[in-house]
Every structure is written in structure tokens, then in C-alpha cells.
């Protein structure tokens, strides 16, 4: 099976469309949450995702924009974007987001969470120490995550030596079948690693190989839509900076 690993679309239709074209032939999309929030096209991104075979989990913005969780824990820009998004979604789309699972077992090797196994919605796995805690407390071979908007690969080797890889785009990484991994493919709609291009990955389960990709998209179009809707200038400007 070839899986397209996508996360944090954040209502950015232009980026999502470009990534879907770039993915090519994959069997299933594994979507790590936050389909909506921040950007100007929440409804369109939900409907586009539903056109493809996918296994999707909930992110904190999916639950916030659908009204399932309170917005008090969101920062001001995120909260205002969620409140705006709530008005754009149909009842069917809100129900879809509310019913997304927090975790998902894809097969015997792969689990999906938005934040971390320990805290599926809120925890940011940013450091090796964050990863080690989750490796120690939970059993899995590969855990795909989102939430941080930064592509990274954490490895626990059989001897409990831990590694961190910041992957370069368009290079195949051959995984060790004896190791365990926490992998973040980065964000489609709002990258935060200083690179504004959309980030995603393809995992070939039969070969135990993963390749990370970056693709440009017309972020100016997304920014103009956001301006028209009166969304935060900070959220608008960060798209061209990758922060």
C-alpha cells in the first residue's frame, strides 16, 4: 500500500489542490487532522477530501470549528478564525468534523493521531524528549502525527537509542523494520519551518520507505481571499513566510 500522508490543510484550498495533483497514485490518504481553521475555504476543503479514499482523524481546529470543544484554549487569531469558520460550514459538515475519531489504527503497524498518542488533540511533539515519552508509554510501530506543522522523523532503535531526522524533500528514507517511529509530514496549508511551500509525504508500506515532498502553490490567491473575509493579518502574512 502507498499512503499519502497529509496534515494541517487549514482551509487552504489552493495548497490542497496542488498537493493532490502532486501526490500521483496513492491507495489512500492518511489525513492527520485540522482540515479546517485559519484559512478561507473550510467547506471546499472538507468536500475535496471526501472525494478521495481517506482515513482521517480529528484535529483541535476541526473540533473547534465544528463547535465540539470550547475555543477558550485557542489564541486570539485561531479563535476568531474558528468563529468565522463555524459560520461557513453546513450542518452536515459540522457533523462530519464532530464525528472524526481522535485516533485511528490503520493496520497492525500504523496509528494516526493529531498531536500525540498521550494527548491526541493538544500535545506538540517538537523534541526528542517529547517523542521518548510517547515511545515509552505507548506501543506502536509507526505513529503519524500533525499539529506542529513541521516535518520531522523520530526513531526509537531496538537498543533504545533515539534519533531525530529533519527530512529533506524528494529523498527516500528507508526505515528500519526493527525500529519504531513518530513521523510528522508537515503542513499543507500553513507550514511553520521557514519554508512556505506545502509539505506532505508518501509512505510505501510494502517497501518500508517514506519520501517527503514540498510543492509551491499560489499563496497570494489564498491571502487575497483571507483579506476579503477580514481574517487576521498575521494569519495572512505568515503564509508567505512559512512561520
Distance CA 102, CA 115 (A): 9
Residue with cell 537509542: 161
Q: What is the pLDDT tens value at each position of the chain, 243 positions in all? A: 999 999 999 999 999 999 999 998 899 999 999 999 999 999 999 999 999 999 999 999 999 999 999 999 999 999 999 999 999 999 999 999 999 999 999 999 999 999 999 999 999 999 999 999 999 988 899 999 999 999 999 999 998 889 999 998 888 999 999 999 999 999 999 999 999 999 999 999 999 999 999 999 999 999 999 999 999 999 999 999 999
pLDDT number for residue 190: 98
Q: With both helix axes pointing from N to C terminus, report the angle between 76-88 and 42-50 in degrees, rounded to the nearest 10.
A: 70
pLDDT number for residue 108: 94
What is the SS3 string spanning 100-138? CCCEEECCCCEEEECCCCCCCCCCCCCCHHHHHHHHHHC
Residue with cell 509551491: 216
Structural domains of the chain, with CATH: 2-241 (3.60.21.10)
Residue with cell 482540515: 35
Residue with cell 489512500: 28
Amino acid at each position: 500500500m502507498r499512503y499519502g500522508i497529509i496534515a494541517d490543510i487549514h482551509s487552504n484550498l489552493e495548497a490542497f489542490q496542488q498537493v493532490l495533483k502532486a501526490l500521483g497514485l496513492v491507495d489512500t490518504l492518511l489525513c492527520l487532522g485540522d482540515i479546517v481553521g485559519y484559512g478561507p475555504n473550510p467547506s471546499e476543503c472538507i468536500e475535496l477530501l471526501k472525494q478521495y479514499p481517506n482515513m482521517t482523524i480529528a484535529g483541535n481546529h476541526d473540533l473547534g470549528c465544528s463547535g465540539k470543544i470550547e475555543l477558550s484554549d485557542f489564541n486570539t487569531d485561531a479563535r476568531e478564525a474558528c468563529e468565522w469558520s463555524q459560520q461557513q460550514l453546513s450542518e452536515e459538515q459540522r457533523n462530519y468534523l464532530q464525528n472524526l475519531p481522535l485516533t485511528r489504527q490503520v493496520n497492525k503497524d500504523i496509528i494516526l493521531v493529531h498531536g500525540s498518542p498521550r494527548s491526541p488533540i493538544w500535545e506538540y511533539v517538537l523534541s526528542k524528549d517529547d517523542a521518548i515519552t510517547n515511545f515509552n508509554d505507548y506501543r506502536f510501530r509507526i505513529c503519524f502525527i500533525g499539529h506542529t506543522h513541521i516535518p520531522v522523523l523520530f526513531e526509537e532503535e531496538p537498543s533504545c537509542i533515539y534519533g531525530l531526522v529533519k527530512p529533506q524533500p524528494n529523498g527516500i528514507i528507508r526505515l528500519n523494520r526493527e525500529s519504531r517511529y513518530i513521523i510528522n509530514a508537515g503542513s499543507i496549508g500553513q507550514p511553520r519551518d521557514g519554508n512556505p511551500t506545502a509539505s506532505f509525504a508518501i509512505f510505501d508500506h510494502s517497501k518500508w520507505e517514506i519520501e517527503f515532498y514540498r510543492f509551491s502553490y499560489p499563496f497570494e490567491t489564498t491571502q487575497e481571499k483571507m483579506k476579503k473575509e477580514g481574517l487576521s493579518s498575521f494569519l495572512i502574512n505568515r503564509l508567505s513566510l512559512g512561520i
